[in-house]
Amino acid sequence: MNRKMSIGVFGWLGMVWLLLMFVLPVAWVVRGGFFVEGRFTIRYLLYVFRNPIYYEGLRNSLGIAIGTTLTAMVPALTLAWVAHRFEFRGKRVLTALALMPMVLPPFVGVIGFQQMLGAYGVLNTLMGWGAIDWLGQGRVWGVILLQALGLYPILYLNAAAALANVDPAMEEAAANLGAGGWRRFRNITLPLMAPGLFAGGTIVFIWSFTELGTPLMLNYTRCVSVQIYDALMDIGSSPFPYALVSVTLAASLFLYAMGKWRFGRHAHAMQSKAGTGHAPRYVTGGAAALAALPFVLVSLIALLPHLGVILTSFSRAGSWYGTVLPAEWTSEHYQHALGHSMTLGAIRNSLLFSSLAVLLNLVLGVGMAFAIVRSRSRWRHSLDVLAMLPLAVPGLIMAFGYLALSAYLANLGWVKESTLWSSIFDIRINPTFFLVTAYAVRRLPYMIRAAVAGLQQTAEVYEEAAANLGARPLTAARRIVLPLISANLIAGAVLAFSFCMLEVSDSLMLAQRADYYPITKAIYELSQMIGTGRFLASALGVWAMVFLAATLVGATLLLGKRLGALFRV
Amino acid sequence: MGASVRIEKLTKRFDRLAAVNDVTLDVAAGEIFFLLGPSGCGKTTLLRCLAGFYTPESGRIFMSGEDITHVPPERRDASMVFQSYALWPHMTVCRNVEFGLAMRKVPARERTRLALDALRRVRMEDYAGRRPAQLSGGQQQRVALARALVVEPRCLLLDEPLSNLDAKLRLEMRLEIRRLCRAAGLTALYVTHDQKEAMSIADRLAVMRDGVLEQVGTPQDVYRRPVNPFVAGFMGETNLLPGRLTAAVNDGVAQVDTVAGQLTGVWSGSGAPPATRAAVTLSIRPECLRLAGERDPAVGNRLSGRVEETVFLGETVQYRVRIHGVNGDPVHVRVLESNPERLRSVGDPVTLSARHGESLILLGSD
């Protein structure tokens, strides 16, 4: 097989897989909302807007997304700017600390936050206030705050990467012409880093627009994600949920396209890579403390939910009311968790699903990255766009599509009759196939970005040299290219893996049988149980935190600053 | 023994532009052949067609008489030395050299022996365990050469292999390359834009422009008898004086009305000589112009003017001399003087002379 053909085969393999497992379910949803009994109609679509409850849900979700993105922007920009300008002792540790909130999905933090802000929580106790339920009072603000605290690291990484790409000569030129620090930042640096920042902003926006776990945990039902979740019961009978999902999809795609259109064309502005190295100013003493302060503050606040979860997992049931710290400590929840079928099973399931998804992503992602970077075919751009598109389609919508697809497939005669096929396609029997697919599709962009970055840094001449000495294309790829991009691949895989482990919407919606619950679904179900459920959930959350912290630290060590590049659209 | 290479009516286009345009070329087995030309002339494209990285739109390529036009690169057995060397950074020097042998299924122990042997030939055996990043440019170059040679290819392709080295190393390496090729009896195709490199080691060379071979021949041939002003100017320095023939070429000699006055030139082209009044260019190399007062008194063309600029080059001095043109415009010519007793100053009047035989009549203008 010659080189062109091998690349072509991988490219087409990826394309077909994406068409089947990504485009088809999404198209299925759209079709379900617009074609009823074989005829096109926009009746249901109009109904979404006419129904005051759903209209309000859409509006609230939009508000949450705007609020979350703007709120997250504040710590992200501040930290990125400080890290860009100043060098001080302990900066590496502090920057790592600022990324830590990522090790826990925001919704798990709700358990911890309820301890802090509940009627008999830490805040009221500390301040001596009465029994005010802060989270119950302002649920929207709770949702926004929790999501912003969980998602700002993505923006921070983007901002840091964008800042690193701004040629210091641009700022120097401004300084040379008399622009002071703040004006320089506002007029020169910020516009230049805008594309990178916007790329991260789009991800955060779409993420928070359709985030399911946090509002669900906070009992905030008037937003589109929870409404879709509740509408799942009608998935077989009514076109209505399909229309609702279609509207959400359109909104997400519109945002994504707008970002691409607004900043995609001007991407060349960032192409002039730093000619001279940028040297942050080394500060000591009071100045260093001042520079470290934002990191400490942001990390402290952002890690409060985590702290709450950890404390909950170690507190005896009923011993943390009206006190700052739990009155009685215990490790019994961990012992119970070890004996509880749902927790152990969830860990096993999550590890299995995530590993399979990452493995699939590695194979497909590397092949597709090859096709995107190395082929000269007209199709490579389509492939590139298609492979990045899962970033624009929320997990909630994908999950809905898979559910609808599964409902259809499970009813086919040949699937029904075969135990094998129904265990693959019928989510009610075994969600493994669709969960792994969902995890893989949505993490594929990260994997591809990682592989593409590696390939772009690896000159094609290395492959040519191998071919010249008699290596066939696959041999050259295996012996020359893969080792050269292995750091990127490992980092991409670790990142994809942790995101799979943390995945919320697909997990909540697709895993319907307790023996197939992944960690996030188990945490959610446990937290809803009366009795010691929330303690078990906390223990499981702590386990996940520790595990993910370890993997992310590994990825950061491997990839360093380049980690930020993976979060770009 | 190396293979003979035959390129037949080869055309390679990028979009609409023909980077290599209908090129036909024969290289004999064991010959060191140079492709010479300015950047963008298509020489590297031609070499990459030979290596198989580009598929030509039309034409054929033969190696030892076998048509290899559509053979994939990995089965061509034509080792390439890349301009950037392309040593794989994740492998040691030894592993780099062994790679080609591994692809040829040579047993591991034999592989190491052969690789070390090849490294010895380029005097790099002490560096076998290092990584490419730990080597200097010249050392990387040697390793790249060893990697290409160790598989005993039918043909060696070199793509500006010395362009990243300093002047002294370049001199050293080009002799080394010739020595190694000769020792192995290899056919070598060597791409460069450095005419000195080509003249010093080529058996034959081709000067390329805009995807076409302008002239093929031995270095002496091409230098002494360029077919047109472009070749004359590209192969070494020359003074080009545009003009017209005043009379038909007679016995290989003719008078030319140039911008610097009427001069005599010789016609040494292979085709029909140009007719009277034909537009031609007279080419006189700087080293062919003698300054008056030297041993060889003026037989042939004479030009007089004033020194306008002197460039001291050590063993020689280069002068830029301003001559009064026929229509009042100044004409500048370059002159070389070897080992002069004293340097002439700017403004000094000088008389230049050149033998008729060293004033070449070339067709067309640059």
Same-domain pairing of A315 and A417: no
User: Would A9 be classed as within a structural domain?
Assistant: no
pLDDT digits (tens, 9 = 90+) for A73-105: 999 999 988 888 888 888 888 888 888 888 888
Contacts of A307 (CB under 8 A, 6+ apart): A112
Question: Phi, psi at residue B217, to the nearest 5°?
Answer: 175, -175
**A350, A246: one domain:** no
pLDDT of residue A505: 87
Contact of B205 with B198, CB cutoff 8 Å:
yes
B79 contact residues in A (CB cutoff 8 A): 468-469
Which of A462, A470, A473 has its CB closest to that of B103? Answer: A470
Nearest to B86 among A461, A471, A479 (CB): A461
Q: Per-residue pLDDT for A212 more than 80? A: yes
Listed in sequence order, the residues at least 6 apart from A135 whose beta carbon sits closer than 8 Å to its beta carbon are A113, A114, A117, A118, A142, A218
Is residue A235 included in any domain, yes or no? Answer: yes
Sign of CA pseudo-dihedral A287, A293, A296, A298: negative
pLDDT band of residue A266 (cuts 50, 70, 90) is very low
Q: For residues A506 and A369, what is the distance between their CA atoms, to the nearest angstrom?
A: 25
User: Over the stretch A132-143, which tens digit does the pLDDT of each residue have?
Assistant: 777 666 678 888
Provide, as residue numbers in chain A, all residues whose Cβ is less than 8 Å from the Cβ of B76: 468
Q: Do residue A371 and residue A236 come from a single domain?
A: no
Quick one: A160 and A45 in the same domain? yes
Number of residues written out for chain A: 569
Residues of B in contact with A467 (CB under 8 A): 52-53, 72-74
Give the Cα separation of A373 and A453 in Å (integer).
Answer: 9
Mean pLDDT of the region A491-516: 87
Q: Is residue A521 part of a domain?
A: yes
Which of A468, A480, A483 comes nearest B80 by C-beta? A468
With cut-offs at 50, 70 and 90, classify the pLDDT of residue A18. very high
What order of strands is seen across the sheet that includes strand B78-81?
A: B78-81, B155-159, B187-192, B32-36, B204-209, B212-217
Q: Which residues of B touch A484 (CB under 8 A)?
A: 88-90
The partner residue sitting opposite A470, judged by closest CB among B51, B82, B100, is: B100
Give A 452-491 residues with CB within 8 A of chain B.
Answer: 459, 461-462, 464-473, 475-476, 479-480, 483-484
Q: Tell me if residue A36 falls in helix, strand or coil.
A: strand
Least confident of A115-124, B14-23, B25-34: A115-124
Question: Residue type at A181?
Answer: G
Q: How far apart are CA A559 and CA A541, in angstroms?
A: 26
CA–CA dist A405, A399 (Å, integer): 10
Residues belonging to chain B with any Cβ–Cβ distance to chain A shorter than 8 Å: 51-53, 72-80, 82, 84, 86-90, 99-100, 103-104, 147-148, 151
- SS3 of A233-255: the string is HHCCCCCHHHHHHHHHHHHHHHH
Note whether A468 contacts B78, CB cutoff 8 Å. Answer: yes
Contacts of B103 in chain A (CB under 8 A): 466, 469-471, 475
> How many Cα atoms sit within 13 Å of B23 on the Cβ side?
36
Of the candidate ranges A272-281, B214-223, B302-311, the one whose mean pLDDT is the lowest: A272-281
Considering only CB atoms, B72 lies closest to which of A2, A475, A484, namely A2
CA A487, CA A555: separation in Å to the nearest integer? 9
**Cα separation, A21 vs A440, whole angstroms:** 10
Cβ atoms of B344 and B292 closer than 8 Å: no
Sign of the C-alpha dihedral computed for residues A113, A119, A125 and A126 taken in this order: positive
Q: Report the largest interatomic distance among the alpha carbons of chain B, rounded to a whole angstrom.
A: 77
Residues A434, A441: Cα–Cα separation, whole Å: 10
Q: What SS3 string covers chain B?
A: CCCCEEEEEEEEEECCEEEEEEEEEEECCCCEEEEECCCCCCHHHHHHHHHCCCCCCEEEEEECCEECCCCCHHHCCEEEECCCCCCCCCCCHHHHHHHHHHHCCCCHHHHHHHHHHHHHHCCCHHHCCCCHHHCCHHHHHHHHHHHHHCCCCCEEEEECCCCCCCHHHHHHHHHHHHHHHHHHCCEEEEEECCHHHHHHHCCEEEEEECCEEEEEECHHHHHHCCCCHHHHHHCCCCEEEEEEECCCCECCEEEEEECCEEEEEECCCCCCCCCCCCEEEEEECHHHCEECCCCCCCCCEEEEEEEEEEEECCCEEEEEEEEECCCCCEEEEEEEEECCCCCCCCCCEEEEEECHHHEEEEECCC
Q: Choose one of A302, A325, A348: the last residue of a domain.
A: A325
Check whether residue A310 and residue A430 sit in a common domain: no
What residues of A are in contact with residue B147 (Cβ under 8 Å)?
Answer: 465, 469
In the structure encoding, which two tokens stand for residue A42, read together? Answer: 């926009």
In angstroms, the CA B295 to CA A315 distance is: 109
Question: B231-280, pLDDT tens digit by residue?
Answer: 999 998 899 999 888 888 888 888 898 888 888 889 877 778 888 888 89
Kindly state whether residues A211 and A350 are assigned to the same domain: no
Residue A220 falls inside a structural domain: yes
Asked whether residue A378 is domain-assigned, the answer is yes
Query: Which string of DSSP letters, residue by residue, matches A344-398?
Result: HHHHHHHHHHHHHHHHHHHHHHHHHHHHHHH---THHHHHHHHHHGGGTS-HHHH
- The closest CB to that of A464, out of B53, B87, B99, belongs to B53
Alpha helices in A86-220 (DSSP H): 91-99, 106-117, 122-127, 134-137, 139-165, 168-176, 181-184, 190-209, 213-217
Q: How far apart are CA B229 and CA B238, in angstroms?
A: 9
Residue B67 pLDDT: 95
DSSP state of A207: H
Instruction: Give the CATH number for residue A169.
Output: 1.10.3720.10
Least Cα separation, residue A377 to chain B (angstroms): 13
At residue A267, the pLDDT reads 45
The residue segments making up the domain with residue A191 are 39-266+287-325
CB-closest option in B78, B84, B103 to A471 = B103
A515 within a domain of the structure (yes/no): yes
What is the pLDDT confidence band of residue A563, given thresholds at 50, 70 and 90? Answer: low
* pTM, two decimal places: 0.78
Q: In the structure encoding, which two tokens stand for residue A529, read together?
A: 């149980």
> How many whole angstroms separate alpha carbon B274 and alpha carbon A173?
61
**Secondary structure of chain A: what % helix, strand, coil (to 5)?**
80, 0, 20
A344 vs B: CB within 8 A: no
Contact B88 A471 (CB under 8 A): no
User: A92 and A159 share a domain?
Assistant: yes
Same domain? For A309 and A356 the reply is no
The count of C-alpha atoms lying within 13 angstroms of the C-alpha of B72, restricted to the half-sphere facing its C-beta, is: 15
Would you state the structure tokens that stand for residue B229, as one six-digit string? 């002003």
Q: Is B273 left (phi over 0), alpha (psi -120 to 50) or beta?
A: beta
- Count of all residues that appear for chain B in the document: 366
Least CB–CB distance from A484: residue in B90, B99, B103: B90
Tens of pLDDT, residue by residue over A447-469, are: 898 888 888 888 889 999 999 99
Residue A482 CA to residue A493 CA, distance in Å, equals 14
Q: Are residues A217 and A119 in the same domain?
A: yes
Between CA A520 and CA A106 the distance in angstroms is 11
Question: Which residues does chain B have within 8 Å of residue A462's beta carbon, measured at their own beta carbons?
Answer: 86, 88
Structure tokens at B327: 């229509």
The pLDDT score that the predictor gives to residue B218 is 95
Residues of chain A contacting B72 with CB distance shorter than 8 Å: 2-3, 467, 472
In a domain, A111, yes or no: yes
Q: Are B286 and B321 in contact (CB under 8 A)?
A: no
Output the pLDDT for position A158.
83
Neighbour tally for B216: CB within 10 Å: 19
Instruction: For residue A506, tell me if it sits in a domain.
Output: yes
In chain A, whose CA is at the least distance from the CA of B152?
A: A469
- Interface contact B151-A462, CB threshold 8 A: no
Distance CA A65, CA A251 (A): 12
Note the pLDDT of residue A184: 77
Six-digit token string for A539? 């223990």
**Res. A273 pLDDT band, cuts 50 70 90:** very low
B53 and A467: CB-CB below 8 Å? yes
Residue A119 and residue A189 in one domain: yes
B166 token code pair: 């300093």
Q: Do residues A417 and A320 both lie within one domain?
A: no
How many separate domains does chain A show?
2
Looking at the fold, whether A371 and A311 belong to one and the same domain comes out as no
Q: Do B51 and A475 touch (CB under 8 A)?
A: no
